[in-house]
Homo-oligomer: A and B are copies of this chain.
Amino acid sequence: MNAISAELSTGVAVRRAVRSGRHAHHTVGAAPPYVQGNVVILPRALAYDFLLYCQRNPKPCPLLAVGDAGDPRLPGLGIDLDIRTDVPRYRVWRDGELVGEPTDIRELWRDDLVAFVLGCSFSFEHALVSAGVPLRHVERGDNVAMFRTSIPTVPAGPFRGPLVVSMRPFRPADAIRAVQITSRFPNVHGAPVHLGDPKAIGIGDLGHPDYGDPIDVLPGEVPVFWACGVTPQAALMAARPPLCITHAPGCMLVTDLLNEQLAAA
């Protein structure tokens, strides 16, 4: 292990490298046993509806932690954690339009901002790979294929829209194993929402994902679909909040929680 990878071997080490400016790119593969999270920061005036949206749609929006208004700390995810500095790259949205991609949001922080951290599929992908279930998009260095479905989420205030899913193709025995393994991780999307016929959930063409990279479903494979963290991002953008700050794609918050700590029985 060289100096840089040793530096990124724990959640706190990644956050310190990020905070000091030594790490300003994606966190794929960083500190693999540690939970990474999607970040959403909203004004308090919208926080209730977003919290309610997450409560009503726990599979696409699995909440790991919510900060107090104006407080950039999230001690449940890491003792020293500061949400203003510890994400490698942010996206700043005003009225639904992307207006910047800073590496630090201390200048933008306000007393009424609330930080939400949501679980992401990196955690269950780590569990799948650890259990010997192959993930072809990971082997190829691709992003997972994601699709908008015909399944509506349950609205809350201005937040609404279709369920977005990620799709991974498996041989049937691996699909069964994947159901078993991901069922243990309800806080990071949990069990699949569908498997088999994509048309049953309104997906016309598996070859053309709405987000991410396409992946072939080979003869003898079954496509398996999980609720995806793009769902709340799409609901947020459609609601056009006056201010919203998220992580930039792939540039996640790395926490001190171990993936295995999220596992249910």
Contact = CB atoms under 8 A, between A and B. Distances in A.
Interface of A: 47-48, 51-52, 55-56, 63, 66, 68, 76, 154, 156, 180, 183-184, 186, 191, 264-265
Copies in the complex: 2
Contacts of A47: 48
A51 B53 CA distance: 11
A54 to B, nearest CB: 8
Given A55-B55, A55-B63, A183-B264, 7 more contacts: A47-B48, A51-B52, A55-B66, A180-B265, A186-B186, A191-B265, A264-B265
Nearest to A75: B154
Contacts of A76: 56, 154
A191 B263 CA distance: 12
A185 to B, nearest CB: 10
Contact of A56 (B56, B66, B180, B186): B66
A264 B47 CA distance: 29
Contact of A183 (B48, B154, B265): B265
Contacts of A264: 183, 186, 264-265
